[in-house]
Structure 1
Amino acid sequence: MRLRTRLFIPRQIKRWLPTSLFGRSLLIIVLPVAVMQIAVTWGFFDAHWETVNSRLSEGLAGDIAWAVATYQDDPSPAAVDRMAQRAEETMDLSIALLRGRELPTSKRPAMFASLDRSMQRALEERLDEPFWFDASNRYAAHVQIQVKVREGVLRIYAPTDRAFATQGHIFILWMVVATMLLTAIAILFIRNQVRAIERLADAADAFGRGLDHEFKPHGAREVRQAAQAFLAMKARIQRHIEQRTALLASVSHDLRTPLTRLKLEMALAEPGAQVEAIKRDLSEMEHMIDEYLAFARGEGGEALQEVELAPLIAGVCAAAERGGARVETVLEQDLAANLRPSAFKRALANLVDNAAAHGETVRVTLEARLTGGVNIVVDDDGPGIPEDRYEEAFKPFNRLDESRNQNEKGVGLGLALARDMARGLGGDLVLERSPMGGLRAVMRLPG
């Protein structure tokens, strides 16, 4: 038995994680690199840099302790001058006695707290007198130390590099530059891999909408395998569609020949009630053959065109009115969509005829969606369909008990053909309860 494990991630964290493959791949690569860089930087400061700073601070504190002890041995002005001159020549320290002064009470912290810690610790170990220091770089790359003595304050300036390792920021800079460089390289490589998947998705979407989209497998080996599998599947589907269309066309042709002979015989026969009934049966049979063939043919390779919708819909509604339907139209002008005109008219006619067959009044509305695209709404005042059977109405050749998914002489393909047409354009067809009391069919088309 195979055990499946899942990494538990709190829901609050999931909200902040990227949802795209590009973002997640980048996170997988960049996050470990960033964590490693932070760990290395932390280790550098904690184990190496602070140790070096401690050694330097201890050396400076020893020199300051020597200066204080020398002053206390002989606090005369001449001795102080000699000590200051010797400290400047041999230890690069600037020493001055500020008579009658007190230690400052305020202190500015250094950029890194570890600098203050190492300096404080070193001076506390070497000096018994009160002291004060400023390592904040306020004094032009110098550290100021003041020690309380009997006559006042002994002020000492020391170069910063005598107290601390001043090249730590270069290490940080190199780490930041390395991280940015690695991130840039990762973005380039990941983007190339994701682009191959995006092109495969575009090709699949175009094929689903019946478009001829040239596509060549490229990218990583797994992506190429998926693309080749898609192309093989596409070829099998196209071959199956061609075979089915050829079969239905052949059957339709074979059926039309005797159907035409029967219609000719009925035209030559003596008029009567029985002849009229046979003519109605023949008309219904011809309509059924047309629907079968339309369903098998699908959109028949018709090219996409940008079409003004209002005139096209008005023409379909006018044809329905000529057939005896009562149709109201509310058409917003200047709305266009990319579609196949013949397939669209056939689908809309199915919806209008279906509504007219089960209601007295049909209303067709064309409106723009706020999110983009258009809605074509067909309402009727008929009995409607239970909500739990909406999806069942779209099944091909399915006839509901209420007989609401096709017109009276149909075979249950009207809604199926209309939804296939809408989805082939990247839209959809859904059913709702109509404000008129019957059924509402909403065809959503992209702009």
Structure 2
Amino acid sequence: MRLSRFFPRGYLVRSYLIVILPIGLLIAAMTTMFFASHVKEVNRRLALSISSEIDVLISAANSDRDLFQKISTQFDIADLMQTRITSTPPIMSVDSSCCGVLKDTLEDTLPNRFNIERLPDNGLIRIQYALDTPEDNIGEVLVIEFPRKRAVMITAHIFIFWTFILSGVLLLIAHGFLRNHVRSILNLADAADAFGRGEDAPHFKPSGAREVRKAARSVIRMRNRIHRYVDQRTQMLAAVSHDIRTPLTRLKLELALLKNIKGVDLTAAKADILEMEQMLDGYLAFARGEADEPTIEFDAVELVNQAFHAASNRARITLNAPEHLLMRGRPLALKRAIANLANNAADHADTVYIHITQAPGLVKICVEDNGPGIDSDNYNEALKPFGRLDAARNQNKSGVGLGLSIANDVAQAHGGFLKLERSELGGLSAAMNMPTSSRRL
């Protein structure tokens, strides 16, 4: 199983992980080392200090009560320890949950003769030690009470607290930088999509890191080169079309002058000239591609209704679509592409089914027919310009083989693609899939 499946896909989230994981590992390592070394060492030294003081008190209490009173008085004045000697029941067992380091240290010096416990009410630690039994056999116990902070480092949590606070501040600062960095990449991606749809994106300016700015400038230069190439191609074909139209016009004029001559059939010649004009119009329309048409918001359902109007005279067309569907694009180019699909279907079938569906960020306009269809091996060839596929379609039909190619170009200009499949009706299914910011009315 590949680990990449479990990693986030978004660049921003991955950047957060790049920042958060090292900081988290650093905090975990620092906390572990802090508690395993520093805190433990401090607690050990505090326990040794307490043990030494208790040893002094026990020695004084066992040897001379007056000396013990003097020493204990000094402790009381300094508010370090509260000590007293009492007669109590036998010493209880040691509380294993209280002050582990201190307990271990005292067990080395006061084995089996003391009890240690923590008083939850006032936060004190109480140690009871059985003094040497006097001659009158009255058991006495030395009771020592002192604040817990004398035996245990109780401020360790402050280190953890400030570590998390400072880490949070660093993450907020990193968040600001990462957001700006990712925003410049997203702006570049949006501009590239707009350029691919034929839009200018006038508000786009290179921003962000040096590498992102370099990529943005490269995209802008690429767009300008493509525009120059398209303009040159369009101008060249327009000039060629104009040059060819001139002799065609003269031929039409000469045929018009010869129409009154008896015994001369000019029908075939006029049909050839008309077909040549249609071919020129198709070539020029394919080269132009409505590239100069502005992108606007329009009702896709109404546009489709207008597009297949001419084809409805030749085939029975059924439309399945929502009542309204707004989308952004170039309506004339899209209308022409849908009209080409509908006309192609009507030329080769008597039943045409058009349906429009919408998914989040996607509009699908599909044209199906019950004609002979196209073999699946020829789908790619059918999308190429001037591909007529006479073996699959009726070769007596008019056209220059640009219908599917123009529809594919229009779909790609809108950021999508044209997909050819076998229709459930038995013929061809041509679906224009276009990602777009669309919404229902």
Report the TM range for the smaller structure's normalisation. Answer: 0.7 to 0.9
The 5 Å alignment of 1:277-426 reads 277-322=268-313, 324-369=314-359, 371-400=360-389, 402-404=391-393, 408-426=397-415
1: CA distance, partners of 2:342 / 2:286? 18
* Contact 1:364–1:378, Cα closer than 8 Å, also in 2: yes
| Structure 1 residue 406: Cα displacement | 10
When residues 45 and 413 of structure 1 are mapped into structure 2, their CA distance, relative to the original with a 3 A threshold, is same
- The answer for the alignment partner of 1:62 in structure 2 is 52
Say which is worse superposed, 266-275 or 290-299, in terms of deviation.
Answer: 266-275
- The correspondence for 2:43, drawn from 29, 36, 53, is 53
Matched, 1:440 2:426: no
Matched, 1:118 2:118: no
* Contact 2:373–2:392, Cα closer than 8 Å, also in 1: no
Q: Match of 2:233, SS?
A: helix
Matched, 1:265 2:248: no
* Contact 1:396–1:413, Cα closer than 8 Å, also in 2: yes
Q: Deviations over 1:2-53 (max 9, x none)?
A: xxxxxxxx734x3443322233233333432332333233222222221111
Q: Match of 1:210, SS?
A: coil
- The answer for the alignment partner of 2:152 in structure 1 is 164
1: CA distance, partners of 2:338 / 2:87? 100
1: CA distance, partners of 2:40 / 2:395? 83
Matched, 1:217 2:217: no
* Contact 2:379–2:420, Cα closer than 8 Å, also in 1: yes
Q: Match of 1:318, SS?
A: coil
| Structure 1 residue 338: Cα displacement | 1.7
- The answer for the alignment partner of 1:40 in structure 2 is 30
- The answer for the alignment partner of 1:7 in structure 2 is none
Structure 2: segments with no counterpart, 5+ residues: 134-138
1: CA distance, partners of 2:192 / 2:87? 84
Residues matched between the structures, number: 426
Matched, 1:129 2:112: yes
Specify the code of the residue in structure 2 equivalent to 1:352.
Answer: A
CA RMSD, 1 decimal: 3.1
- The answer for the alignment partner of 1:237 in structure 2 is 226
* Contact 1:405–1:412, Cα closer than 8 Å, also in 2: no
2: CA distance, partners of 1:171 / 1:415? 70
* Contact 1:422–1:443, Cα closer than 8 Å, also in 2: yes
| Structure 1 residue 333: Cα displacement | 1.1
* Contact 1:347–1:414, Cα closer than 8 Å, also in 2: yes
* Contact 1:18–1:24, Cα closer than 8 Å, also in 2: yes
| Structure 1 residue 331: Cα displacement | 3.3
2: CA distance, partners of 1:203 / 1:249? 30
* Contact 1:395–1:416, Cα closer than 8 Å, also in 2: yes
Specify the code of the residue in structure 1 equivalent to 2:110.
Answer: L
* Contact 2:422–2:429, Cα closer than 8 Å, also in 1: yes
Q: Deviations over 1:244-286 (max 9, x none)?
A: 1111111122222222333333344438895222232222222
Q: Deviations over 1:328-347 (max 9, x none)?
A: 22332122222222111110
Q: Match of 1:307, SS?
A: strand
Q: Match of 2:278, SS?
A: helix
Matched, 1:93 2:81: yes
- Identity within the alignment, %: 42
- The answer for the alignment partner of 1:196 in structure 2 is 184
- The answer for the alignment partner of 1:182 in structure 2 is 170
1: CA distance, partners of 2:430 / 2:396? 14
| Structure 1 residue 386: Cα displacement | 3.0
- The answer for the alignment partner of 1:4 in structure 2 is none
* Contact 2:234–2:284, Cα closer than 8 Å, also in 1: yes
- The correspondence for 1:275, drawn from 266, 269, 281, is 266
2: CA distance, partners of 1:329 / 1:108? 80
* Contact 2:372–2:392, Cα closer than 8 Å, also in 1: no
Q: Match of 2:312, SS?
A: helix
When residues 134 and 275 of structure 1 are mapped into structure 2, their CA distance, relative to the original with a 3 A threshold, is farther
2: CA distance, partners of 1:246 / 1:98? 115
Q: Deviations over 1:295-327 (max 9, x none)?
A: 2112231122222233322222221123x2332
Q: Match of 2:398, SS?
A: coil
* Contact 1:398–1:412, Cα closer than 8 Å, also in 2: yes
Per the normalisation by structure 1, the TM-score is: 0.84
* Contact 1:354–1:407, Cα closer than 8 Å, also in 2: no
- The answer for the alignment partner of 2:136 in structure 1 is none
Specify the code of the residue in structure 2 equivalent to 1:216.
Answer: K
Per the normalisation by structure 2, the TM-score is: 0.85
When residues 387 and 176 of structure 1 are mapped into structure 2, their CA distance, relative to the original with a 3 A threshold, is same
Specify the code of the residue in structure 2 equivalent to 1:312.
Answer: L
1: CA distance, partners of 2:230 / 2:395? 24
- The answer for the alignment partner of 1:6 in structure 2 is none
Specify the code of the residue in structure 2 equivalent to 1:286.
Answer: E
Matched, 1:173 2:173: no
* Contact 1:102–1:152, Cα closer than 8 Å, also in 2: no
When residues 317 and 80 of structure 1 are mapped into structure 2, their CA distance, relative to the original with a 3 A threshold, is same
1: CA distance, partners of 2:175 / 2:253? 73
When residues 104 and 122 of structure 1 are mapped into structure 2, their CA distance, relative to the original with a 3 A threshold, is closer
1: CA distance, partners of 2:25 / 2:295? 52
